[in-house]
A and B are shown apart, each in its own frame.
Chain A
Amino acid sequence: MLQKRKNYLIAYMFLLPWFIGFFGLVVGPMISSLYLSFTQYDLLTAPQWVGAQNYVEMFNDRKFIASVKVTTTFVVIGVPLQLIAALFIAMLLNKGLSGIGFYRTVYYIPSLLGGSVAIALLWKNIFGMNGIFNDFLGIFGIAGRGWVSHPDYAIYTLIALATWQFGSSMVIFLAGLKQIPGELYEAASVDGANPFMKFKAITLPLLSPVILFNLVMVSISSLQVFTSAYIVSEGSGGPANSTLFYTLYLYQKGFSFFEMGYASAMAWLLLIVIALLTAIIFFSSKYWVHYEYGGKS
């Protein structure tokens, strides 16, 4: 018994650094932000309790509603695009090309770089008024626009930037594709199935657990997107609030407009929305995710 307890002690000792980080940097700040979300707090003077006022105010705040719209557009269009791009490239790479390691690395690189400030700046220049995208359009005689700075198009350049960062989903898809037994495809070929039928009847069902995983991960990260919009719009969410992502508005409220209480309330609402969305995806997975061993689970 004593021996057992001693073993636990050693285990806890090893876990201690993680516990310190978890409680000091995650749980502690979360609890204090929950408290702050019920206060008016300007960062510089002491917070004042205002009850649920921050949560109520959100629904009358035009910029808040704009930020929800922008983020929803980004998730609804961006997440499927990102998953399709990742799956498409993963299937190409799964064809058994020579030098696959090289291609895999090349296609993975954007997801390492994509979140960085430098790439956001690059994007801003590519899709700017005098950017190479407009030069490219000029070849076909199409007059370009300031894609990043026009409210009708700015969000789509950011969706394109997110789609370009498909690398990590792609690697996971690739691993999933490798798990699918080759005999299944051979059997299907013997039965005269065309590539599309094979994809629909074999690849998609057997890959569905991996699709579920990627869907959850990409959805969560899309709801939290910040850097690209911050850099492209210089922190303003402009033009005309067209790139005002939820997290960008949260940041503005907290750090530029001195309303940390409101920003904390926004953060908690986002947490709840992410939790709900994830729950819905998991609940729906019963109907479309197929587990190979032991049938549907």
Chain B
Amino acid sequence: MKKFLSVFLLLSFIFVLVACGGSDDASSETDGGNNEESGSGDQGNDTGNVSDDQIELRFAWWGGQERHDRTLEVIELYESKNPHIKITAEYSGFDGYFDRLSTQFAAGNAPDIIQYGGNLNDYVSRDVVLPLDQFVGNELDISLHDETMLEAGSFNGSLYGVTLGTNAWGLLLNKTLFEEAGVDLPSEDWTWEDFTEIAVQLTENLDGIAGTEYFDHNGFGIFIDQKGKVLHEDGVLGIDEQDVVDWFTLWQDIRDTGAVVLPEIQAASSTTPEQSMIVAREVAMQLIPSNQLGAYRNATQDELVFHVHPLMDGRSGIALRPSQFLAGYSETEHPEEVAKFLDFFVNDLEATAILGNDRGAPVNSEVRENLIAIANETDSDIFAYIDFISRTSDSPYVPNLPGYNETEALFKTTSEEIAFGQISVTDGASQYFTELVEVLERNR
């Protein structure tokens, strides 16, 4: 009996150890190809059916549940059309996605197909991204892609990534809250002064809900464009310290009216639409990229409208931007197959219809027309907004700063230090600027 007990205890101890050690696996599930359940995001795994003449490609992306479902459906479609290909999906939320990728690159076993954001340049400069030039016109057709979006995925004259969609930042307004507060929706040519006034009115008329969130580094990029400057060109800054001071002063003034949400609420909020402040009714206005409109609308009963950013001197500062890129791993064993899959993902009418607007408005003009023809209400709103921006704004697309992870963290920390009153606007701006120059120096 005693022996039995000790064996039992030992086994359960091992079980606990294994259970603790295995927690990472929850984020990367393998998708079992022909398995019917996989489309719903519940993973039934059957990885053991790769035969010798089959080619296996690994595909990594981040996103919410909706994107996972749509992407898995496209993978299934591709596999049914190309029975010799098996695609293993490695998907997760955004947190930790690039950290895991870094380790995979270091170990030399990164996925063959990888979704990048505006930080693609950081990886191209480290030679881990597959150049696509040799496949253009063969496996990969880019003839109908927007010129600017091809440029966005090109570095030093070579194409590295296909753009998955076009995006534009804008303000998400909670119309239900506007009505509760008895505040009219703003016009299309509203200014920062109008914005502040509306935020104040909302805050006063709504109990415990702030008018707006703080726009952080994405808003800063827009603000710099509104001032007629360019944030940087190839890592060379086009701004000076005074621009940073102006940005933080602008927000300090709005904050002084009480219309900005408490910094501790913003610090605890998440970038995931379902856990955002506007969905939680902490704020009535929030800055979001257009492709996320659908996810926000699905997360709340409130009516949300997508509106242009407040203007300064007549400029909205909004540029059409690539949302994300799909690119290959430079060490992949099957570069042609990777290129074929990229082509399918952005050009195939059936696949792009499944993917919809979730990664932004398609960059292939034929695909886009097809989507506009079958668009639902949210998609129509997004296309209308993109169209509005392309007609009214001449702001150039500025890629993210090099060393994106670090420069973004630096801006966020500085913003928090100022918002919590730990440092003055001028000292904070000066500290940010000095450290920004250092980071850019290191990433040259």
Interface residues of A (CB under 8 A from B): 42-45, 62, 112, 116-117, 124, 128-129, 145-146, 148-152, 234-236, 238-241, 251-252, 255-260
Contact = CB atoms under 8 A, between A and B. Distances in A.
Given A44-B128, A256-B405, A150 B420 contact: yes
Contacts of A112: 16
A238 B420 contact: no
Contact of B416 (A44, A235, A238): A238
Contacts, number: 88
A239 B420 contact: yes
Contact of B412 (A62, A149, A236, A257): A236
24 contacts: A43-B105, A44-B102, A44-B127, A44-B128, A129-B262, A129-B264, A146-B264, A149-B265, A149-B268, A150-B420, A151-B420, A235-B99, A236-B409, A238-B267, A238-B413, A238-B416, A239-B267, A252-B409, A255-B99, A256-B102, A256-B405, A257-B406, A258-B122, A258-B403
A241 B126 CA distance: 29
B128 to A, nearest CB: 5
B96 A240 contact: no
A284 to B, nearest CB: 34
B268 A43 contact: no
A268 to B, nearest CB: 19
B221 interface: no
B23 A117 contact: yes
B342 to A, nearest CB: 21
Nearest to B271: A234
B250 to A, nearest CB: 20
Interface string B57-98: 000000000000000000000000000000000000001101
A260 to B, nearest CB: 8
B197 to A, nearest CB: 26
A238 B263 CA distance: 11
B302 interface: no
A150 B264 contact: yes
B286 to A, nearest CB: 17
Contacts of A257: 403, 405-406
Nearest to A252: B409
Interface in B126-174: 126-128
Contact of A151 (B102, B416, B442): B416
Contacts of A145: 264
B165 to A, nearest CB: 25
Given A149-B267, A256-B405, A240 B23 contact: no
B6 interface: no
List the 6 closest A-B pairs by CB distance, nearest first. A146-B264, A149-B268, A44-B126, A239-B267, A149-B267, A240-B416
A258 B123 CA distance: 10
B420 A44 contact: no
A248 B53 CA distance: 44
B373 interface: no
Nearest to A244: B413
Contact of A235 (B95, B103, B263, B431): B95
B106 interface: yes
Nearest to A63: B413
A43 B102 contact: yes
B417 interface: yes
B422 A146 contact: no
Nearest to A258: B102
A272 B19 CA distance: 32
Contacts of B96: 235
Given A146-B262, A255-B103, A258-B102, A129 B412 contact: no
A150 to B, nearest CB: 4
A238 B95 CA distance: 14
B405 A42 contact: no
